[in-house]
C-alpha cells in the first residue's frame, strides 16, 4: 500500500496506484479536468440527440451549450469561492486555480439556468423547452463529473463501515475534512494510515444514473414544456439533500451554519413542485393536452 492507494474493503477491491494527473509532454493534466471534459462532451452529445428527436434546430443548441458551459464554470467556481471565502481572502490568485478542484455543482446549475433564460429571450425561444432538452445532458455530465472527486480524494462523507465504504490514505486528503470518528477507526495497512468514509461522490453518481433513466423514460410521455426540467430539479434536489448530510466538506451559510446545497435544493424543489401543480391544473381545465409546434414545443 502507498499514498496513491484507494480501497473498497467490503468489495475486496484495491486500487494501488490512483494518480491525480498524467503527464503530457511534460505538462501535468489533472484527471479532474479530463473527467469534467468527458462528462461535458457526452452530455452535449445527448442534448444534440434530444434536440433532433424533438424537431429543434441543432445549431441553436451549439450556440447555447457553448455559452452555457463557460457561464456555468464561472458560476460553479464563484459559488464555491463565495462560500469558502476564508480560504481565498488572503490568496486571491488561488481563485483562478481550478485544476485541483473547487467547483460547486449548484453554482453551475444556477448560472446555467440564468444563461438559458437570457438566451431564450434573445433567441425568442421557450425557456422551458430549452431547459427540458438540456437537463438530461446535464445529468450525464454530473454522473461522470463526480468521478473527478474520486481522483482528487475529496467530496467524501463521514466514517462508514457499509458495503460501499471507501478507504483513503490519511495524508492524501485535506486534514480539515477528517472527523474524530474517522480517527477512532483509523486503520494501518503496510505502514500507511487509512480513514474509512462514505464515498458520497459514488452515491451521487449512482443517484444521477437512476435520475437520468427516469428522465429519459418521462421524455417519451412528457405533457408540457418544463416537465423534464422540473422533475430534474426535484429528483436531483432530493438526492443532494440526503448526500449533503453525509459530507464533511459542506459549504455553509454564514451565521446559521446550514449547508448551502440543502437550502438551494429545498428552494428549487419547492419552486418545481409549485410549477408542476400549476401546469397540471391548467391541463385539467382543457379538453385536450397542450401541443407545441415543431421547433417550439413537443409533439
* Centroid of chain to Cα 83: 17
Tens of pLDDT, residues 71-97: 999 999 999 998 888 888 877 877 887
pLDDT at 8 over 50: yes
Domain span holding position 13: 6-203
Asked, for residue 259, whether it belongs to a domain, the answer is no
Segment 248-256 long-range contacts (CB within 8 Å, at least 24 positions apart): 248/156, 248/157, 248/158, 248/177, 248/178, 248/179, 248/197, 249/154, 249/155, 249/156, 249/174, 249/177, 251/79, 251/80, 251/83, 251/84, 251/104, 252/83, 253/83
> Cα angle vertex 272, ends 245, 83, to 5°?
40
Of residues 246 and 287, more confidence is placed in 246
Q: Does some domain include residue 22?
A: yes
Digit-coded pLDDT (tens) for 203-259: 999 999 999 999 999 998 899 999 999 999 999 999 999 999 999 999 999 888 899
Statement: residue 293 has pLDDT above 60: no
The x, y and z cell numbers of residue 9, run together, are 474493503
> Distance of alpha carbon 127 from its chain centroid, rounded?
21
- 48 CB neighbour count, 10 Å cutoff: 18
Instruction: Answer yes or no: is 24 within a domain.
Output: yes
Mean pLDDT of 179-194: 95
Q: What pLDDT sits at residue 298?
A: 44
Section 99-109 average pLDDT: 83
pLDDT average, residue stretch 114-134:
96
Gap between the Cα atoms of 240 and 136, Å rounded:
17
Q: 146, 238 in Cβ contact below 8 A?
A: no
Looking at residue 95, its pLDDT comes to: 81
Q: Produce one character per residue of 212-247: b if its CB has 16 or more CB atoms within 10 Å, e if not.
A: beebeebbeeeebbbbbbbbbbbbbbebbbebbebb
pTM above 0.75, yes or no: yes
Question: Number of folded domains in the chain?
Answer: 1
Is the predicted pLDDT of residue 115 greater than 90, yes or no? yes
Residue 78 or 103, more confident: 78
Residue 106 domain-assigned (yes or no): yes
The pLDDT of residue 276 is 96
Section 34-53 average pLDDT: 95
pLDDT at 165: 97
Judge whether 214 lies within some domain: no
Name the average pLDDT for the chain: 91
- Does 225 fall in a domain? no
pLDDT value at 102 more than 90: no
pLDDT attached to residue 283: 85
Query: Mean pLDDT across the stretch 100-111?
Result: 86
How far does Cα 153 stand from its chain's mean position?
A: 16
Q: Which range is least confidently modeled, 19-33, 47-61, 232-246?
A: 19-33
100: helix, coil or strand? coil
The residue-averaged pLDDT of 113-124 equals 96
Q: How far apart are CA 103 and CA 35, in angstroms?
A: 13
Inside any domain, residue 191: yes
146 is in an annotated binding site: yes
Instruction: Please tell me the distance from the alpha carbon of residue 180 to that of residue 152, in angstroms, as a whole number.
Output: 22
Amino acid at each position: 500500500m502507498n499514498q496513491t492507494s484507494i480501497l473498497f474493503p467490503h468489495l475486496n477491491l484495491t486500487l494501488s496506484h490512483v494518480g491525480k494527473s498524467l503527464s503530457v509532454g511534460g505538462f501535468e493534466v489533472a484527471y479532474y479536468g479530463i473527467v469534467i471534459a468527458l462528462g461535458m462532451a457526452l452530455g452535449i452529445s445527448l442534448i444534440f440527440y434530444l434536440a433532433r428527436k424533438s424537431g429543434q434546430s441543432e445549431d441553436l443548441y451549439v450556440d447555447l451549450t457553448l455559452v452555457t458551459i463557460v457561464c456555468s464554470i464561472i458560476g460553479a467556481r464563484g459559488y464555491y469561492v463565495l462560500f469558502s471565502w476564508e480560504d481565498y481572502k488572503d490568496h486571491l490568485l488561488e481563485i483562478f486555480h481550478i485544476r485541483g478542484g473547487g467547483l460547486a455543482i449548484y453554482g453551475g446549475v444556477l448560472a446555467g439556468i440564468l444563461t438559458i433564460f437570457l438566451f431564450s429571450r434573445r433567441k425568442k425561444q421557450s425557456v422551458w423547452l430549452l431547459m427540458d432538452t438540456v437537463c438530461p445532458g446535464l445529468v450525464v455530465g454530473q454522473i461522470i463529473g463526480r468521478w473527478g472527486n474520486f481522483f482528487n480524494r475529496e467530496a467524501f462523507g463521514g466514517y462508514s463501515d457499509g458495503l460501499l465504504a471507501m478507504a483513503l490514505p490519511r495524508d492524501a486528503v485535506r486534514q480539515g475534512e477528517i472527523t474524530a470518528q474517522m480517527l477512532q477507526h483509523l486503520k494501518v495497512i503496510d505502514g500507511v494510515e487509512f480513514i474509512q468514509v462514505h464515498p458520497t461522490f459514488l452515491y451521487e453518481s449512482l443517484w444521477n444514473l437512476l435520475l437520468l433513466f427516469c428522465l429519459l423514460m418521462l421524455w417519451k410521455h412528457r405533457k408540457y414544456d418544463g416537465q423534464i426540467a422540473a422533475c430534474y430539479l426535484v429528483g436531483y434536489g432530493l438526492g443532494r439533500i440526503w448526500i449533503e448530510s453525509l459530507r464533511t466538506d459542506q459549504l455553509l451559510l454564514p451565521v446559521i451554519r446550514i449547508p448551502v446545497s440543502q437550502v438551494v435544493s429545498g428552494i428549487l424543489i419547492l419552486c418545481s413542485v409549485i410549477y408542476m401543480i400549476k401546469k397540471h391544473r391548467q391541463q385539467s381545465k382543457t379538453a385536450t393536452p397542450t401541443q407545441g409546434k415543431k421547433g417550439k414545443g413537443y409533439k
